[in-house]
Amino acid sequence: MLSQRARYALRALCFLAGREDPRPAAIVDIAEASAAPRKFLEAILLELKRHRILVSSRGRFGGYLLARPPSEISFADVIRALDGPLALAPCASKTAFRPCEACPGITDCPVHPALVAAREAVAGVLEGWSLSRAIGPLGAENLQAK
């Protein structure tokens, strides 16, 4: 299940991706646009900065900007940064593989192929869904409707 942190982050990043102003966005504006509690969002944005999804600047005119073009930031990047691997079980993860407890092993496990298929399907969608795509014609209408 997608965490609230990831949902707030995706909304905040879509807001940043859709801005035409080249100056950093203030946290108060990002929080308002993404309908997120400011203090909670501050921690989320700092984590995204640590993962090099955002850059920030301090001072009176400081704030946050995307570290890369919106077309180069996928939903999978954001979710992995905040929630960890996309796989349903560690044995199906590409980024955090480890054997499951009390499992006979991936070659003998009847569940493993389904978990890998689920991870591949989810990763395929989320890796293919960039911030640019989210704010495209249909995405922009959804952002304005809120």
Tokens of 105: 């092993």
| Stated pTM of the model | 0.85
Give me the pLDDT at residue 90, please. Answer: 86
Give me the pLDDT at residue 145, please. Answer: 42
How far apart, in whole angstroms, are the C-alpha atoms of residue 92 and residue 88?
A: 7
Bridge partner residues of 3 (DSSP): none
The four Cα atoms 9, 14, 95, 93 give a dihedral, to 10 degrees, of: 90
Give me the pLDDT at residue 98, please. Answer: 82
Give me the pLDDT at residue 70, please. Answer: 96
How far apart, in whole angstroms, are the C-alpha atoms of residue 44 and residue 33?
A: 15
List, run by run, the mean pLDDT of 10-residue segments along the chain (146 residues). 95 95 95 95 97 93 94 97 91 84 81 91 95 77 45
Q: Coil, strand or helix: which one is 117?
A: helix
DSSP per-residue codes, 7-28: HHHHHHHHHHHH----SPBPHH
Q: Taking the chain, what is the end-to-end CA distance rounded to the nearest angstrom?
A: 23
Contact residues for 129 (Cβ-Cβ < 8 A; gap 6+): 74, 75, 76
